[in-house]
Amino acid sequence: MTMFSMASRIASMAVICLVAANGVASTPHNDPRHRSSLRARVTLADGTARAITLRGVGCTESICSRVRAKDTSSGDVWLDGLASIHDISHLPTGPVTAVFTFKDGEERQAAIIAWHRVLYIEGRFGFTQKLDLARVSRIDFE
């Protein structure tokens, strides 16, 4: 009986340590040369539109970056340099392809990696909400 209870205590402690380690949030990428908390107008695929504050991008688990999205080929898409995002693919998984229009007038098609397809936006009462980019038709930044 003592052996079983000692083994169960050790197993319990191992589980607690693993859960605690996985629960620690990683710090999102932040670059002091770029702005975060960007105001924008989002039009969803169903046609509804609303004003948002974009806090960053990431996966369904956590925010990864407050200032950039990673492109599958060219690297970084700095969020504060965007004027709009449109022609967004609506695939349920994987990278999301869209046309990015930058404030300097440049326009290019890019595929955002799957780990950056979730938008973290400020919701009601200041709580963070998640919005999959594939559910969006267009984003116009202020």
The residue extents of the domains of the chain are 38-141
Q: What is the pLDDT of residue 16?
A: 41
pLDDT digits (tens, 9 = 90+) for 58-77: 999 999 999 999 999 978 99
Model-level pTM?
A: 0.76
More confident residue, 106 or 31: 106
The pLDDT-based confidence of 23 (bands split at 50, 70, 90) is very low
Mean pLDDT of 108-121: 95
More confident residue, 139 or 30: 139
The secondary structure element, H or E, covering residue 88 is: none
Give the integer Cα–Cα distance in Å for 82 and 1: 65
Inform me whether the pLDDT recorded for 101 exceeds 50.
Answer: yes
75 Rama class: left (phi>0) / alpha (psi -120 to 50) / beta: left
